Amino acid sequence: MASNLVVSDNIDDGWSDAAAETSGRAIQGTLIRFNDWKWRAGKDDKALPDGTRLVAVKTAAAWVRWENQRPVETITREKGKPFPEREDLSMWEDKSAWPTGMSGDKEDPWRNTRYVYLISPDTMEAYTFSTSSAGGRNAVRDLGDNIARVRKMRGNPNLVPLVELSAEVMPTKFGKKSKPVFKIVEWGGGAAPEADQLEAPPFDDIGRNDTYADEISF
């Protein structure tokens, strides 16, 4: 491809309208899941390389109702309002009516779900991490707590983190399991984009974690 191709800022080429079609979708880009110490992506459930780093640009919370192993209804947290409690959901309160899951036990069709929208700083590829496990929700909560604290301390509400997809041991009543961890590597000072826009923020040395300073090539 020629390296001197130039596109005018004023041209109406339709790409902005095409990108807008993703707005409002719960899953944007490639779906990421975490299971048994591994981060996996896509329909083929391919394991992501150890040390994968992505920019965390946005998060969302929702109650998702599943039927026949498919999501059929979603109640998303509204900005500025508390997240609904399970008891506030009007349907499927009778546990005897709950469907039988793959484990053979009755399972609540409503799943307390979190989404984290990420992009690759190298390829601009979009990813969505989806989780309804306690360990996954805690990972999202901890990341959100870190982001809020750093934004407040540095007086910049637009800071967004570059995170490394990691894992840690999680003690449970069934023994030691794994839980996902978003390990913050570096902070970007640009404006945090909407998830459907997915524009990578600029990164600089401000806020860089010295532990990783020699490994970062931005």
Locate 193 and state its tokens. 């984009």
The shares of helix, strand and coil residues in the chain, as percent rounded to the nearest 5, are 20, 35, 45
- pLDDT tens digits, residue range 147-171? 999 999 999 999 999 999 999 988 7
- pLDDT tens digits, residue range 121-131? 999 999 999 99
Highest mean pLDDT among 5-19, 131-145, 173-187: 131-145
Average pLDDT taken over every residue of the chain: 80
Q: Is 135 helix (H, G, I), strand (E, B) or coil?
A: helix
**Cα 131 to Cα 116: distance, rounded to the nearest angstrom:** 9
pTM of the model: 0.76
Q: Cβ of 193: how many Cβ atoms within 10 Å?
A: 18
Locate 190 and state its tokens. 């640009």
**Cα 157 to Cα 147: distance, rounded to the nearest angstrom:** 9
Task: Give the pLDDT of residue 173.
Answer: 72
Asked if 140 contacts 42 with a C-beta cutoff of 8 angstroms, the reply is: no
- pLDDT tens digits, residue range 76-103? 998 888 899 988 886 777 777 888 877 7
Q: What are phi and psi of 151, to 5 degrees?
A: -60, -40
Asked if 79 contacts 196 with a C-beta cutoff of 8 angstroms, the reply is: no
Task: Give the pLDDT of residue 19.
Answer: 67
- pLDDT tens digits, residue range 5-43? 555 556 678 777 776 666 667 889 999 999 999 999 999
